[in-house]
Structure 1
Amino acid sequence: MAFETELRIATLAVQRASRITTALSPSTRSSASLLKDASSPITTAADFAAQASLIAALHAAFPHDTFIAEESSQQLRSAPALIEHIWTLLTTTRISDPAAASLALPKDREDMLRIIDMGASRGGPGRTWIMDPIDGTEAFVRGGQYAVCLALVEDGVQRLAVLGCPNMALDQGPISETTLPREGESGWLLSAVQGEGAWMQRLTWDVLEPRVPIPLRKEVGDIAGLKTVDAFASPTMDTGAHERVNELLGIKARATNLWSLQMKYVAVAVGGHDVMVRIPTYAGHRTAVWDHAGGQLLVEETGYRVTDVFGKCIDFSRGRRCSANLGNVVAPVEVHARVLEAVKNVHGFGEGVDGEGYPFERA
């Protein structure tokens, strides 16, 4: 298998980072956090600890690779109590597997901050690991669905993905914020390699069970019966436009509300859903690469196509944001063109150049 060593280490790294996120109890997730700025969501101690854990493990194994990650240590340096909390999470959280125990960790608190800031790369040619230590932090704080996300991108192309989903249950119907593992049960770890398929395994804190293949999705019957996922509270997505797309397609069921963007990809790949449409409320919106890298590869390897609202493939070679793309259309390969046509009839964007030089403008 291509990227076999990378997949093995990435799987162990995501397992350990996922364990770190669960070590921060729900009752302390809000208090062990900070607000990045007036417009940004909160970041918890677990976000920082998981990012430090991931980068430390990967940098030791692949010292010439670069990293794009969401968090920065800038505000942490004036929050010594939070630094101590993060350090405690890193140094006391354990996986009962010798292979996971061999993964590198920061040497001390200053090294931890340095490693967190290794995620400030802008990518470019060569190999870059893109990560979101907790995608869906606000849902994580509430005890809902979130994902620990990691993807290897080579020259802008996704090669490998590993996602840890500690709160995901697959035996309670389609994934939602409330389909959580029962007491004593675990979540799931998902992985994919470009051109070789996708797999899943139970996310335990011991030696992981063998991976099992995720089957390609079945043929679509009646398009009106497809299930969609959305984030109703998103301030940057036009959920009214999403409803109009569903009306054009004849989809009558209301979308399932999931805050985490990466968990929407997971919900499509394995969680009983079929379509995700994201039409921004303004032409200048450019989404962060860590919100998509990994999850996108997972759905592509399970029988879906992903484009922007104009039908262009998502370009991960432009730095920390998908600056060449606007919005997303995710649907089974055989009906993607029909969904995209409905999106184009609704979104109202023309393909010009906006005031910031982006290749889109309001029609």
Structure 2
Amino acid sequence: MSPYADDLSLAHRLADAADRITAARFRARDLTVRSKPDRTPVTDADTAVEDALRDVLLAERPDDAVAGEERGGAVSGPGRTWLMDPIDGTKNFLRGLPVWATLIALVSDGSPVVGVVSAPLLGRRWWAATGGGAWLRDGAGEHRLAVSKVEGLADSYLSTTHLGSWGEHHSRDAYLALTDACWENRAFGDFWHHCLVAEGAIDIAAEAIVNPWDVAAAQVLVTEAGGRFTDLTGAATFDGGSALSTNGLLHEATLELLNRHRG
């Protein structure tokens, strides 16, 4: 059993509370939307979820720090910090697409130790805690997760993100080289492709630009499933500004290719 079992239980209760809010506000006619300074959208559901989860954490973990996408807070440092993204995939949420999730992570002394990803409209929840494995609950029940065993880039299934973000934050040439090197590529995006790496459904997920609350839960999920999670420099961190999840077998080859074509 994970030493963080009690924290994982709390994270599930937080996700339950979030699901009740987000599911009720999905496709709501009176949903309010505004733009943040970086022009990304935020809805009243985003803020309602984060405020509700902060209230629970204040009551149940008053000595822990909290940081979230909408209300801020320090994301790293000594001690324990809860990180949350109330709706990862807000653009999908706004367009009536069901591919969005609430992300909840507990970071202890700079390392994610608990992660829950709850996607209620997909009917899926992923979770992991250090020493306890990675798990998925869907319509078929609960399943322990394991990454794939694919060993070569030419046989691998890749998911990545918008080409423009690679040109701005990493390298357009590296993006094209990676997609060309892999057997197949898609853009599942946001939380989903990291979860699919943990499931073993795809082999590589790469993002040129992320925020810490986007991927802290993914780091513990992928590593507990037997994979590897770093930023695009190879540092095993959730706050490096980029993200690379793989089955582990493909990680070094992916990093080498990306760095060789960065220019």
TM-score normalised to structure 1 length:
0.65
Q: Is the 8 A contact 2:163 2:175 kept in 1?
A: no
Letter of the 2:83 counterpart: I
* Partner in structure 1 of residue 16 of structure 2: 15
Which residue is equivalent to 1:290?
213
CA positional deviation for 1:151: 0.5
Distance of 1:271 and 1:49 partners within structure 2: 33
In the other structure, the counterpart of 2:192 is: 263
Query: For 1:184-210, what per-residue CA distance to the aligned partner results, in whole angstroms no more than 9, with x for missing partners?
Result: xxx11111011321112248xxxxx97
8 Å Cα contact 1:131/1:151 also seen in 2: yes
CA distance in 2 between counterparts of 1:153 and 1:219 reads 29
- For 1:300, the equivalent position in structure 2 comes to 223
Aligned counterparts of 1:326 and 1:122: Cα–Cα separation in 2: 12
Higher strand share: 2
Q: CA deviation at 1:336?
A: 1.1
* Amino acid aligned to 1:135: D
Match of 2:234 in 1: 311
* RMSD over equivalenced CA pairs, Å: 2.4
Residue in 1 that maps onto 2:73: 120
State whether residues 4 and 130 of structure 2, in contact with CA within 8 Å, keep that contact through their aligned partners in structure 1.
no
Q: Indicate conservation of the 8 Å contact 1:139/1:146, yes or no.
A: yes
Structure 2 CA distance for aligned equivalents of residues 150 and 326 of structure 1: 18
Read off the aligned partner of 1:243 and give its amino acid letter.
L
Give yes or no for the alignment of 1:243 onto 2:176.
yes
Asked whether 1:196 is paired with 2:132, we answer yes
Who is 1:57 aligned against? Answer: 56
CA contact (8 A) 2:229 2:246 kept: yes
> Secondary structure, in 3 states, of the residue corresponding to 2:49?
helix
Match for residue 143 of structure 2 among 197, 201, 212: 212
Any conservation in 1 of the 2:161–2:206 contact (CA below 8 Å)?
A: no
In 1: Cα distance, 2:233 partner to 2:162 partner: 23
Task: Flag structure 2 segments of 5+ consecutive residues without an equivalent.
Answer: none
For 1:311, the aligned partner's letter is: G
Structure 1 stretches of 5 or more lacking a match? 73-118, 169-186, 204-208, 281-286, 317-321, 349-363
TM-score when normalising by structure 2: 0.88
- What SS is found at the alignment partner of 1:23? helix
Distance (whole Å) between structure 1 residues aligned to residue 32 and residue 164 of structure 2: 24
Larger Rg: 1 or 2? Answer: 1
Q: SS at the partner of 1:52?
A: helix
* Alpha-carbon shift at residue 273 of structure 1 (Å): 1.6
Letter in structure 2 aligned against 1:220 = V
CA distance 1:300–1:257, change in 2 (3 Å): same
Alignment length (residue pairs): 258
- CA gap of 1:55–1:210, structure 2 versus 1, over 3 A, is farther
Q: Secondary structure at the match of 2:70?
A: coil
Q: Is 1:223 equivalent to 2:153 in the alignment?
A: yes
**For residue 142 of structure 1, what is the amino acid of its counterpart?**
R
CA distance in 2, matches of 1:272, 1:233: 23
